[in-house]
Amino acid sequence: MDIAVAPDVSEFAQQHGLGSLTAATLEAIRTRRPRYSITRGMQFLRFQKRIDRELLRHRVITSNPYTAWFRRGEQNVSQLKAFIVQFSVFSNVFLLAQLHKMINAGTLEGMRASKEILANEIGVIFNLHGARSSVSAAEYDPERIGTEGTVQGGTFRFEAAHFEWLLQVAQELGLGFADIGKRRFGTAATLLFCDELVRLYGNEDYAISQAASYAVENWAAAGFWGELIEGLVRYNGRHGTSVPLGFFAWHNRLEAQHARHTQAELEELYFHGDPGEDAFIRHGNEMLEAVAAFWDGLEIERRKLEQPH
């Protein structure tokens, strides 16, 4: 929530050393909502420091050699194809993890939040103002589709499925539907990542699933989408191709906006039910290890494809 901090809330935060909490949490503490107190606020800020130190400094968030290389746009077509194939396997299997997360949700609200993501992934276009949107053929283009709103009352289009956007990229590179998305095309590293997503992100234990979710969101907001886009723009320039950027551009826009919600979600999780600090950090790190394994796998593969004959 991006509510501006009211002057009295801001003053209250300064007085009690709670300045970095979100406005919603500060307001809850100030008005003494159940489970919210100045002491809990302080405890949360100590927990936040641990998260910053012990989770968010993971190497896959601070530096990713593969995406740093990708950004330069020096990949050959085999390297780019290999990337798209592995990314398509991850994107497709992610649906399973998301479905598990939805089924295992602890509340109706949680189930709906997971369903939003799942429905949008498979082609329901977000409806920004609760009004039924009429979507003309050109408007399921990921370059133009919005990233905000709800799937409630949104329009379903096969062509708006994220997998279909990725298929368009694959087709530009000479790959077809039969070449992408299936588990059998995944390297061991990609499959490890996919399986860990199902195990952790889709876990029956809500606390584990939330820790994995927080880790994944922080990774996704760390800027790799932008690096992929830059690389593809350069690739297109070098090769005179028009690999569509929509899939990547849409996710980049989405993440920019997600990052703003991640903090609010963490605070809500903390104040509403203690997530267990050690377990949160451990499960978050397990998830990030799997993310790192995925990019490491891509890095190894691209080195193998350095000089194709």
Q: Catalog residues that contact Fe ion under the rule CB under 5 A.
A: 162
The residue (of 30 and 162) whose beta carbon lies closer to Fe ion is 162
Q: How far is the CB of 124 from Fe ion (least distance, A)?
A: 12
- Give the nearer residue to Fe ion in terms of CB position, either 54 or 139: 139
Q: What are the residues whose beta carbons fall under 8 Å from the beta carbon of 230, sequence distance 6 or more?
A: 71, 73
Whose tokens are 């990547």? That residue is: 248
Cα–Cα distances (Å) from 76 to 97, 174, 215, 240, 306, in that order, read: 32, 14, 32, 13, 8
Instruction: For residues 222 and 62, give the distance between their C-alpha atoms in angstroms, rounded to a whole number.
Output: 8
d(CA 90, CA 305): 20
Between 26 and 102, CB nearer to Fe ion: 102
C-alpha separations of 93 from 78, 159, 202 in Å: 23, 19, 12
Least distance (Å) between residue 95 CB and Fe ion: 9
Taking the complex as a whole, how short is the minimal distance between the CB of residue 225 and Fe ion, in angstroms? 11
Q: Output 58 or 162, the one with its CB closest to Fe ion.
A: 162
Shortest distance, position 94 Cβ to Fe ion, whole Å: 7
Q: At what angle do helices 246-272 and 206-220 cross, to 10 degrees?
A: 140
Residue nearest to Fe ion (CB): 162
- From the list 195, 205, 218, 214, the residue with the least C-alpha distance to 290 is 195
User: Tokens 């130190």 correspond to what residue?
Assistant: 53
Nearer to Fe ion, 162 or 283 (CB): 162
Nearest to 256 by CA among 287, 225, 227: 225
Closest C-alpha to 31, from 9, 5, 4: 9
Please, what is the minimum distance in Å from the beta carbon of residue 237 to Fe ion? 26
How far apart (Å, rounded) are the C-alpha atoms in residues 185 and 180?
7
Is the Cβ of residue 115 or residue 162 nearer to Fe ion in the bound state?
162
Provide, rounded to whole angstroms, the least separation between the CB of residue 128 and Fe ion.
18
> In this complex, which beta carbon is closest to Fe ion, that of residue 186 or of residue 246?
246
**Least distance (Å) between residue 220 CB and Fe ion:** 10
